[in-house]
Chain A
Amino acid sequence: MKTLTISKNHRTVCIAMMAIGVLSLLATFFGADDELHTRFWTNFLHNSVFFTGIALMALFFMAASITAWAGWYVVFKRVWEAFSLFLPVGLVLMVIVAIGNYVGYHHLYHWSDPESVANDALLQGKSGFLNDNWYLLSTLIIGGLWYFLARKIRSLSLAEDEQGENSFEHHRKMRIYAAAALPIVGFTSAAMIWQWVMSIDPHWYSTLFAWYTAASWFVAMICITILIILYLKAQGYFENFNRDHLHDLGKLLFAFSIFWTYLWFSQYMLIWYGNVGEETGYFLTRIKDYPILFYGNLLINFALPFLVLLRNSTKRRNGTMIFVAVVVFLGHWMDIFQLIKPGALHTAHELAGHAHDGAAAEHGTSVTGFIFPHILELGTLIGFVGLFLFVVLTILSKASLEPAKDPYLQESLHHHV
């Protein structure tokens, strides 16, 4: 089938998932949380950052593929276009967090608390960047810029389908926007990651952090690409997505999982080796208080994809690929979880006047949902997945699934590894 029709079933399932998400969030807020609602807000931030990042990586990879004159993926390029158009939704979610800095309904960021900043020279030094105004402004401006680029590439892609001819004029324009998108996303994603994620631990820093987080987003993006395409294929769409396309997505999953591990190791080993107290505290907290998350991260996001996807045959089997994609998707969701939760819990303790010695359990504040994702975290994830799917399916239904006049279509249809 050439055009996607969203069946009643699809709609129902997505809405049900979103309902589960809303219920989980409400249950967290009103039931299983401290007075600062840390668990609720970390869940909200975690998932918002995660899915916004996936959307951004889809834009980035599409731009890279266009600039590199790649043709193999064109048969499913609409999927990445749809992912990138989730950006406005993600940014609305982040704006909610940004406004929260002002009105104080969350206390995710230590640097947003005036009293803390007044007593802390380090936070004062960073306040030129870590402040409520800039957080909101940058989210709006940079987010807006990303959305602009995603929309531009999408509209050119659709226009090409209507009016494309032998001069490949639309593709030429797309190459210009794609080429511009690469350094823009490269620079700005780092700034936003520092702002949204790294500043949760405001006394710590790592120059590699942005690339590490982006790599995590990227692998998650590839995983959910595989899952959505295989699902739609089972429904009768994407008939021309063949085993070789799947193989290539599997290679990307494999290769970038190794790349993510390389970045993980670089960051960890250099901080371990230098043994500088200001840096090592970050990992010490995670190893001591969040060990399952910490080591599980490596196991799921390195050992599993490496061992399973090393062989050619596994990358060509639907079942194996679905299994690996689901597990690694959850794995990287957990990676972003452990980037956010420990620091936010520590901030909450500081703000609630507790001493900070890392043994969170002794504070009497429940650590359910912090040390390891619990049922409400999973419920929230389901909600966000439902939202993401709803947006993506809606956008996919707005255009033909196969870009008829894309100059690489024939190459993609005849794709053979």
Chain B
Amino acid sequence: MSGHYTSPIRDPLIEGNKTYHDITVDLVAATERAPSRAWWIAFGVSVSFLTLGVICMLITIWQGITSWNLNRTIGWGWDITNFVWWIGIGHAGTLISAILLLFRQKWRTGVNRAAEAMTIFAVICAAIFPGIHVGRIWVVFFFFPYPNTRGPLWPNFNSPLLWDVFAISTYFTVSLLFWYTGLVPDFATVRDRAKGLRKKFYNFLSFGWTGSAKHWQRWESLSLVLAGLATPLVLSVHTIVSFDFATSVIPGWHTTIFPPYFVAGAIFSGFAMVLTLMVITRHVLNIKEYITIEHIESMNKVILVTGTIVGVAYLTELFIAWYSGYVYEQFAFFNRALGPYWWAYFGMMACNVLSPQVFWFRKIRRNIWWTFFMSIFVNIGMWFERFVIIGTTLARDYLPSSWSYYVPSFVEIGIFLGTLGIFFTFYLLFTRVAPVVAIAEVKHILKSSGDQYVHGHEQASATAEVVEGSQP
């Protein structure tokens, strides 16, 4: 990290003239007090959605995939749409932790802990779908390659569906390790303030952390290497998910831009979900001084950039479809825009390409209400994008006599709502058990980015004006 020299043009990242002790108290507060009524209501709603989801999953397992509306030729519907949607959402956490660490962006410390937690919960939700959509979940262990007495029967290493199994298991494991490594010192902070049963609990979780200099050195080295590993990992995971489509020969699916385009889209939706959660969390837990408007603005800029990249990819696909002269490819896109699912296509375009353009305006980037509603739009748009790719293409492929239309069954809708329930239940529990902001990392940047040390360029220019104005 650079020394304490910070350019006067930068705005502070910690407000309120905090001391190290203030940071500790503010950020462990939520774990030390009983949940508020708002928390209980949110928890109740989430758990009911979760329950609905579990019931629908049990129905699926009991009755089979017949409880869904998948049929010829639409073999993938809400299941895979939701799978890709959740994996995409998970990408922001790793990006914030890993890539922003490598780029030395100090503002990541306000949001990385919650974003990493979000990644883990999102990946859990995503992993449910490959699990339950196979039909015979009791033999899902067939996926895993180990010497067996079934032949031996190995999985197909040539299939992107199996690459997915490895990618998502690895992603889940590495994200968990990365998240937990960061949490250990913060759990120690909670432990040292706790008494009785809570102390025992946090003692278990903090792995015996003492704050020794040698341990910090190893911890920083480990964080950097994990970040260096997690960066290509996060690119590879959504790339491999895109391979599920791109390795086929289906028009609209078989296109080489899918890997980086999917990654950009994942980051796009992930940041949107982080914003949705952060806007609420910072307000409810009263930590606006740690998740400042600077943080919000930076994340909105990332949304603008990744949304534009997604837009470039859309235009590229459209142009090359024309350029290729391949009638089926041209039809695929014609069908997306004007076929039976035209409403999904326009939803996608409006939410993903048009709406983020508002973030060109600084005032809007720094406005909480705009940010909150935009973040929801973006996630809706990205859901539509996956549905457009999957649903429209499968509904109208090569043979017109096979054309069909897909509408999800109540069981499928219930499962999706259930994953929302699982996600928010986990997140709500997380906010009670662990500090949602990386305490040690925020303390680390206090002297370079706290508002008593850094005044920001608006204040700097105001000071300059005062000085100039006072010239005789």
Which A residues lie at the B interface, using CB under 8 A?
A: 67-69, 71-72, 121-122, 125-126, 129, 165-168, 171, 179, 182-183, 186-187, 190, 194, 205-211, 251, 255, 258, 262-263, 266-267, 269-271, 273-276, 278, 407-408, 410-411, 414-417
Quick one: which of A182, A263, A411 contacts B2, CB cutoff 8 A? A411
Q: Does A205 lie within 8 Å of B260, measured CB to CB? A: no
| Residue ID in chain B nearest A262 by CB atoms | B235
Is the CB of B331 closer than 8 A to any CB of chain A?
no
Is the CB of B315 closer than 8 A to any CB of chain A?
yes
Residue count of chain B within 8 Å CB distance of chain A: 51
Is the CB of B5 closer than 8 A to any CB of chain A?
yes
Inter-chain contacts of B9 with A (CB < 8 A): 69, 168, 171, 407-408
Q: Does B260 lie within 8 Å of A274, measured CB to CB? A: no
A167-B256 CB under 8 A given contacts A190-B316, A270-B246, A274-B247: no
Inter-chain contacts of A122 with B (CB < 8 A): 325
Q: Does A208 lie within 8 Å of B257, measured CB to CB? A: yes
Inter-chain contacts of B45 with A (CB < 8 A): none
Task: Kindly list the 4 A-B residue pairs having the minimum CB-CB distance in the complex, ordered from nearest.
Answer: A207-B257, A166-B464, A208-B256, A167-B461
Inter-chain contacts of B8 with A (CB < 8 A): 166, 407
Inter-chain contacts of B248 with A (CB < 8 A): 274
Q: Does B460 lie within 8 Å of A183, measured CB to CB? A: no
Inter-chain contacts of A255 with B (CB < 8 A): 102, 231
A-B CB contact pairs (8 Å), 27 listed? A67-B301, A165-B464, A167-B457, A167-B464, A190-B312, A194-B319, A205-B323, A206-B256, A207-B255, A207-B257, A210-B316, A211-B257, A255-B102, A258-B232, A266-B256, A267-B256, A269-B243, A270-B246, A270-B255, A276-B249, A407-B7, A407-B8, A407-B457, A410-B7, A411-B5, A416-B1, A416-B2
Inter-chain contacts of B258 with A (CB < 8 A): 266, 270
CB distance from B356 to the nearest CB of A (A): 11
Q: Does A208 lie within 8 Å of B464, measured CB to CB? A: no
Quick one: which of B5, B104, B231, B254 contacts A276, CB cutoff 8 A? B254
Is the CB of B10 closer than 8 A to any CB of chain A?
yes
| Residue ID in chain A nearest B326 by CB atoms | A278
Inter-chain contacts of A68 with B (CB < 8 A): 103, 105
Q: Which residues 305-354 of B have a CB within 8 angstroms of A?
A: 305, 308-309, 312-313, 315-317, 319-320, 323-326
Apart from the given pairs A183-B308, A255-B102, A414-B3, 9 other A-B contacts in the complex at a CB distance below 8 Å = A166-B463, A167-B457, A167-B461, A167-B465, A183-B312, A206-B256, A211-B260, A263-B260, A271-B256
Q: What separation, in Å, do the CA atoms of A266 and B260 have in the docked complex?
A: 9
A411-B7 CB under 8 A given contacts A126-B325, A258-B232, A271-B256: yes
Inter-chain contacts of B247 with A (CB < 8 A): 269-270, 273-274
Which B residues lie at the A interface, using CB under 8 A?
A: 1-3, 5-10, 102-105, 231-232, 235, 239, 243, 246-249, 254-260, 301, 305, 308-309, 312-313, 315-317, 319-320, 323-326, 360, 457, 460-461, 463-465
Q: What separation, in Å, do the CA atoms of A68 and B247 have in the docked complex?
A: 35
Quick one: which of A186, A266, A407, A410 contacts B239, CB cutoff 8 A? A266
Number of A-B contacts (CB under 8 A): 124
Inter-chain contacts of A205 with B (CB < 8 A): 320, 323-324
| Residue ID in chain A nearest B249 by CB atoms | A274
Q: What separation, in Å, do the CA atoms of A71 and B232 have in the docked complex?
A: 25
Q: What separation, in Å, do the CA atoms of A278 and B324 have in the docked complex?
A: 10
Q: Does A168 lie within 8 Å of B461, measured CB to CB? A: yes
Q: Does B2 lie within 8 Å of A207, measured CB to CB? A: no
CB distance from B301 to the nearest CB of A (A): 7
CB distance from A386 to the nearest CB of B (A): 35
A126-B323 CB under 8 A given contacts A209-B256, A407-B8: yes
Inter-chain contacts of B257 with A (CB < 8 A): 206-208, 211
Q: Does B309 lie within 8 Å of A186, measured CB to CB? A: yes
CB distance from A4 to the nearest CB of B (A): 25
A168-B256 CB under 8 A given contacts A121-B325, A186-B312, A190-B312: no
Inter-chain contacts of B5 with A (CB < 8 A): 410-411, 414
Inter-chain contacts of A167 with B (CB < 8 A): 457, 460-461, 464-465
Inter-chain contacts of B7 with A (CB < 8 A): 71, 407-408, 410-411
Quick one: which of A186, A211, A266, A410 contacts B308, CB cutoff 8 A? A186
Q: What separation, in Å, do the CA atoms of A278 and B254 have in the docked complex?
A: 13
A194-B3 CB under 8 A given contacts A166-B461, A183-B308: no
Q: Does B249 lie within 8 Å of A414, measured CB to CB? A: no
Q: What separation, in Å, do the CA atoms of A121 and B325 have in the docked complex?
A: 9
Q: What separation, in Å, do the CA atoms of A207 and B260 have in the docked complex?
A: 11
| Residue ID in chain A nearest B294 by CB atoms | A69
Q: What separation, in Å, do the CA atoms of A255 and B317 have in the docked complex?
A: 27
| Residue ID in chain A nearest B463 by CB atoms | A166
Quick one: which of A67, A168, A206, A262 contacts B457, CB cutoff 8 A? A168
Q: Does A125 lie within 8 Å of B463, measured CB to CB? A: no
Q: What separation, in Å, do the CA atoms of A341 and B84 have in the docked complex?
A: 40
